[in-house]
Structure 1
């Protein structure tokens, strides 16, 4: 089995969150057992949010940045204390830069060729995106050829479809819009997080 560094192999994606609400939502996620939390870099004032939640929750959870496209963004994340980066694509130069900076990389891919390019560049984890359009069958086919690297499915994954993806060979999921939408109450985030956690922890391969 591939080694996943997170205790709960669900990456909580808080796309669009701002500094004024990041702490409360991250706190709820940590209380629900989540220890991998991503704030995408196309969120407002993302550096302020990430820096604040690293200071408050960095000892209890992996805090990372998503939609990372440039080496300078990796450098900023490293300075803020983030522990992982998530990319939307396969960029070997960016992956190598992040790995050299001591970061864990969850590299976005769609095809087997892209997955192998990401792994060859040093990515420790893979992110199939958008998972909902490829489906569990795509994961099963990829698993037949991919090395033993953690594979997360991201994009349109729901509590109802997560079990099929897990049965097909994914290790977990990144959950974004199905978990959090800007402006929603903290309790909605908590309820959504709990539904995904119950599926993930209840599944036995």
Structure 2
């Protein structure tokens, strides 16, 4: 998998189909290349289908919190290429890869990370990252393959992003510090720009 120019996943938990395109437009303007709508959002599949239809040529669109076969089937039917999970389920990962999806898989322990990689995970996200802290990932990356795309998810802000990247993460998933249900599209754009600026500063 080719690394993203801006390896940040926008997590739009709670967004509705009526507003998703406006918010996504701001994310794309800020340089985001990955957008997920968690499956516990209202009419999530409709949102994913809209995003894929309008912005699928500009970003990797997908669903998050894909935890079972039924949700994976719905994602595949949507035509969107990105599956994000909070957990490590090797059988689900294998099914997603067989369907040609890019997979971003939640893990915490070394055993889970290696199980995800062996099943074909493209990205492994340590969740919840903030609870584990940066000392944990320094130890973890010392035993992982150098090519591992390890993302931090949970508690990542523009102010601490650089610290997590310096510790060994290659990217991050951004939840409530980027998007909260009910906020305006302008707020989403401003927050996305702050995260993009933080990434550029950390990568300079």
TM-score range, shorter chain: over 0.9
CA distance in 2: counterparts of 1:127 and 1:134, whole angstroms:
12
**Corresponding residue number in structure 2 for 1:29:** 27
Calculate the aligned-residue CA RMSD, in Å: 1.2
Alignment of 1:46-85 (within 5 A): 46-85=44-83
Deviation at 1:46, TM superposition (A): 0.3
CA distance in 2: counterparts of 1:157 and 1:137, whole angstroms:
15
- What are structure 2's unaligned runs of at least 5 residues? none
Deviation at 1:4, TM superposition (A): 4.7
**Corresponding residue number in structure 2 for 1:195:** 194
TM-score (norm 2): 0.96
Answer yes or no: is 1:142 the counterpart of 2:140.
Answer: yes
2:40 counterpart (39, 42, 45): 42
Secondary structure in structure 1 of the residue aligned to 2:117: helix
CA distance in 1: counterparts of 2:158 and 2:47, whole angstroms:
27
**Corresponding residue number in structure 2 for 1:175:** 174
Secondary structure in structure 1 of the residue aligned to 2:203: coil
Cα 1:169–1:146, aligned 2, differ >3 Å: closer, same or farther? same
Q: Deviations over 1:79-107 (max 9, x none)?
A: 21211111110111111110111011111
Q: How many pairs does the alignment contain?
A: 203
Cα 1:85–1:166, aligned 2, differ >3 Å: closer, same or farther? same
- What are structure 1's unaligned runs of at least 5 residues? none
